[in-house]
Structure 1
Amino acid sequence: MKHIPRKRFGQHFLADEAVLHAIVDAIDPRSGEALVEIGPGLGAMTDPLVARCERLTVVELDRDLAARLRKRPELEVIESDVLEVDFAALARARGQRLRIVGNLPYNISTPILFHLLGAVDHVIDQHFMLQKEVVDRMAAAPGSKDYGRLSVMLQWRYDIESVLDVPPEAFDPPPRVESAVVRMTPLAQPAAIDAARLSELVTVAFSQRRKLLRHTLGRWLEQQGIDTAFNLQRRAEEVPVAEFVALATAQR
């Protein structure tokens, strides 16, 4: 029976064969790797992936699709909301770090990215199809209009690269936005910081983008009792990731 895409799950199924093969070539899966696909849907990307890696773990929330996928012996199906999956535990069970891929639901893509950040030490790399606007924000450099909290909170821990643009007509049904594939590779030696503290700092800094930081972050630093030579005569979008990270380690 034909599966009808469910709007509440943000389902848009990739249908363009050329795009599918370009994505799988970018991922370059190998036999023996612990590959995990989020949101396999009808299996369009699952098929060329498993052809190369032989076995695959898939995370699927839609129970009808999960039931279909369970009929395939080469797949291990986790029927769950991806935000409830413990990827660190999954890696420990496999005895190796994970390679995570997927066409993420655009309506919850940012929460998924932050959820995966908690398991980053157990990941080799991640390749995701996302709304192009989100990928642009993830990869943005300081001074860009796209540079913001998402840029900083991901770039302090990953090398991020946009590898492929994908038009709406590559999907069924077509989304109303442009899409892109992003590669996220964990940094080998990230700064040792309190991620929650960095998140709070960056949230305050970007809370009023048009104002100089002395009006926003300056007040926060004063409340925290932090005396620093950090230049507050800038807007948040002008500050490199490394400076935000250094400020998050400043002593009270």
Structure 2
Amino acid sequence: MPKVKEKSSSGRFASQQRQSIVFNKDLGQHILKNPLVIDNMIEKAALRPTDVVLEIGPGTGNMTVKILPNVKKLVVCEIDIRLVGELEKRVQGTPYKSKLDILIGDALVTKFPFFDVCLANIPYQISSPLVFKLLAHRPYFRCAILMFQREFAQRMVAKPGDKLYCRLSVNTQLLSRVDIIMKVSKNNFKPPPKVESSVVRIEPINPPPAIDLKEWDGMLRLAFLRKNKTIGAIFHQKSVLELMETNYKVYCSLKNIKIEDKFDIKEKIESILNESGFADSRARTMDIDSFLTLLCAFNSKGFHFVK
């Protein structure tokens, strides 16, 4: 079997026989093979010599070997032990080996260390939870350059009224500035995925809004149950009313607030929505400020949300 020789810009990384590896599609292993795409992603990251970089899912190291010469330290997180072995071979005997720190495990449960920049070709099935894990990471990182399935990337940047506008759009844009910076054809991967991809740049907003993010997301889950329905119609549903009543009674119990004898949850919710002016609004057209105002209207009357 012929050897495939891949070098960094310094030309000091060893050639390896990697064609025998069978990639695991269940783990989302679609290896980015086009060096021009890799170069563009690294360029967009604007790396500094003092940076600590986190790379998620390095695969066989095509991006890894190009990052190493440009940074102080590179931490990679890889779940497949076979690919970890390939990665170790590529840096063996190079001056960059001491810069590389390998974390073996699932990126969703592995604790990430401090990092300035994140670069990743993310397995599509973990895109959403991984984005919010990164946005919850402290201390804050400077930016992340991430590869996603194109429709997922489009949902991240969608605006009110767009067809793809959803809970992901609102949550992502609440916590970060996000832009699509590159489109990538499926032919740039081995094996090629069934969908096209896009590269997104994420810059966390620091400090974040002073709200309870679990409660915020709980409200969004309800609002986007049927994003084309009015908020009033959604909060008239029996299951939603029961949830809101349970949450309200728990809140009153914790605060030693006496619940009035003729308490009517439906009447209370209608009053809040009418007073705030959102009864006839629809989630698909509401912007972040509108959702923040709606949350404040509920909270001011003692109504809270949980996941």
TM-score, L = length of structure 2: 0.75
- In structure 1, C-alpha distance between the alignment counterparts of 2:287 and 2:51, rounded to whole Å: 35
| Equivalence for 1:244 | 291
2:43 is matched with which residue: 17, 22, 25?
Answer: 25
- In structure 2, C-alpha distance between the alignment counterparts of 1:192 and 1:246, rounded to whole Å: 13
Q: Structure 1 residue 143 and structure 2 residue 190: aligned?
A: no
Question: Could you tell me how far 1:166 is from its partner in structure 2?
Answer: 0.4
CA spacing shift, 1:147–1:120, aligned 2, 3 Å: farther
Question: Could you tell me how far 1:174 is from its partner in structure 2?
Answer: 0.9
Question: Could you tell me how far 1:116 is from its partner in structure 2?
Answer: 2.1
1:235 is matched with which residue: 259, 272, 282?
Answer: 282
- In structure 2, C-alpha distance between the alignment counterparts of 1:50 and 1:246, rounded to whole Å: 46
Map 1:71-82 onto structure 2 (within 5 A): 71=89, 72=91, 73=97, 74-82=99-107
- In structure 1, C-alpha distance between the alignment counterparts of 2:129 and 2:44, rounded to whole Å: 24
| Equivalence for 1:94 | none
Cα distance per residue 1:98-131 (max 9 Å; x no partner): 3111000011111211222321552221110000
For 1:238, give the aligned amino acid.
Answer: T
Q: How many equivalent residue pairs?
A: 245
Q: Structure 1 residue 133 and structure 2 residue 120: aligned?
A: no
Question: Could you tell me how far 1:54 is from its partner in structure 2?
Answer: 4.6
Q: Structure 1 residue 62 and structure 2 residue 62: aligned?
A: no
Percent identity of paired positions between Structure 1 and Structure 2: 31
Q: Structure 1 residue 193 and structure 2 residue 194: aligned?
A: no
Q: Structure 1 residue 35 and structure 2 residue 53: aligned?
A: yes
1:209 is matched with which residue: 227, 244, 253?
Answer: 227
| Equivalence for 1:174 | 192
Structure 2: unaligned runs, 5 residues or longer:
1-16, 92-96, 249-267, 303-307
Instruction: Give the strand-richer structure, 1 or 2.
Output: 1
Question: Could you tell me how far 1:19 is from its partner in structure 2?
Answer: 1.3
Is the 2:155–2:164 contact (alpha carbons within 8 Å) kept by the matching residues of 1?
A: yes
Cα distance per residue 1:16-46 (max 9 Å; x no partner): 1211111111112111111100000011111
TM-score, L = length of structure 1: 0.90
SS in 1 for 2:181: strand
Please identify the structure whose Cα radius of gyration is greater.
Answer: 2
- In structure 1, C-alpha distance between the alignment counterparts of 2:60 and 2:66, rounded to whole Å: 13
For 1:235, give the aligned amino acid.
Answer: R
CA spacing shift, 1:218–1:231, aligned 2, 3 Å: farther
SS in 2 for 1:42: coil
- In structure 2, C-alpha distance between the alignment counterparts of 1:43 and 1:207, rounded to whole Å: 41
